[in-house]
Chains A and B, each alone.
Chain A
């Protein structure tokens, strides 16, 4: 059998819609109890991947298993084990929040008492108790999103799939939803989510896959991805009239033990270092010894943006024509 810690196994997955290739050749695994993120720009194939995993879309090629069950041949079993929160606010304007949850209780074959208990619990979790008996067309966007999340959690799933859980929400609602998601992880629920917010991926995900143009560019924890870029760096700026001293300064800095690489730029040096705390004093000392007057030193820790650019060749925004919204 497979590694027990693997709850989702995707192998060489591909999906085409006529001439459009939505996902090219995806392979990844998701581990039990983690928050796994798919990060990518609009049209990258995130929702398509999720739809295949929740069994509503058949793959064109490749396989995927959820908790050991194939999403095509054992779709019904998979459906009974997962919860899904779609990207669109998929609510029925004419039903109240409570009625949405009651409907889903019936669709997941929960008993009446079980459904009522779950509903009470979830309304509390997402702070919708007061609004539970109003029809959804009177809800704000954030309230609809919370209802969506409650709907996804109703069956008490082992794995929850969240498609862009905070798209279009204000900062406070976003933080609150991050909080719910972390609480779910504490309860041992595995979370698979998509996002095109770097910050969200960075803060929330235990591991993430950067996906672009239907292929995975890199997978790892946010920290691994960032250190994979070469770790921290120092940017030295030297006084204008002393730029001719740069080659000598470079050689001096390069000789230091904690320095990995040094590059000259028009105003100074970019220094890749292992540990900024230890290398910083040494670098300053070399500069003084070589009689270079420094204008400033900036310390730079790579952000997920840098990771994204390094692996896709473009920024998250502006990579696709429809990325202008925001």
Chain B
């Protein structure tokens, strides 16, 4: 096992995901456009008037929402990231890959790299659309780099959860049920759509233990406030994500080893 070999495997496997995507152009377009269309534009316009700017602490609802939509995109992509491996497991393709002399982790790494490359592009699209709607990033281009870094770091844990589920469930029906069960509460019980201060007490408590909240609270000041407010939040988010990723990777690796041997 040399690094050269590892690189070759990961590259070959990543190419497979890219080629598959290029065969599904319609799905690619839909994947890229869906989050900003649905959440940013619809929700942003829908709640613009209803939202109380004082509570939001933001110039308008769209700029408040942008950070939430960025993190939601990471969440959805990360959690769905394992599904293709689930199909591979079901139709025997995974077994074929596992019968080759590859390092067991390269399948997973390739999937992570691919999902995060797509997610990164989506984040850029979301921020561009927000820009068109008048949202100006207070921290500029370096802020975008930090947002991407936070997203990628959050993605590690989420992809690990997703693959953990993929390798544990009996069928892809179970996978999708579990996914829906996880992702909606994670969105609504976080600061994605409304600030914590606008939530009932019990919800605030739940939202506080939701890693989503901490990630969003780091991304949001990068967009609407500026570096001074953002830096402590970003540092805290990195710390929380380090713990979150470690826990998810541990669980994911266990599920993977149980399924693959």
Contact = CB atoms under 8 A, between A and B. Distances in A.
A68 interface: no
A90 interface: yes
Given A54-B99, A56-B98, A80-B101, A91 B93 contact: yes
Given A76-B1, A94-B20, A95-B20, A84 B13 contact: no
The 5 A-B residue pairs whose C-beta atoms are closest, nearest first, are A106-B12, A90-B92, A79-B101, A107-B100, A88-B92
B101 A103 contact: no
A106 B11 contact: yes
A90 B93 CA distance: 5
Contacts of B49: none
A84 B99 CA distance: 7
Interface of A: 51, 54-58, 76-77, 79-80, 82, 84, 86-92, 94-95, 99, 102-109, 135, 151, 155
A56 B261 contact: yes
A86 B90 CA distance: 13
18 contacts: A55-B99, A77-B101, A86-B95, A86-B96, A90-B92, A90-B93, A90-B96, A95-B16, A99-B16, A104-B100, A105-B12, A106-B8, A107-B13, A107-B101, A109-B5, A109-B9, A135-B23, A155-B100
Give the residue among A92, A151, A155 with the most B Cβ atoms within 10 A. Answer: A92
B213 to A, nearest CB: 37
Nearest to B1: A76
Interface string B217-261: 000000000000000000000000000000000000000000011
Contacts of B93: 90-92
B102 interface: yes
Contacts of B13: 103, 106-107
Interface string B66-86: 000000000000000000000
B94 to A, nearest CB: 8
A40 B15 CA distance: 39
Interface of B, helix, strand, loop or mixed by DSSP: helix
B91 A90 contact: yes
Interface in B1-22: 1, 5, 8-9, 11-13, 15-16, 19-20
A101 to B, nearest CB: 11
Contacts of A76: 1, 101
Contacts of B97: 107
Contacts of A105: 12
A94 B24 contact: yes
Interface string B93-120: 1011111111000000000000000000
Given A92-B93, A109-B5, A151-B96, 4 more contacts: A86-B92, A90-B92, A91-B93, A107-B102
Contacts of B91: 88, 90
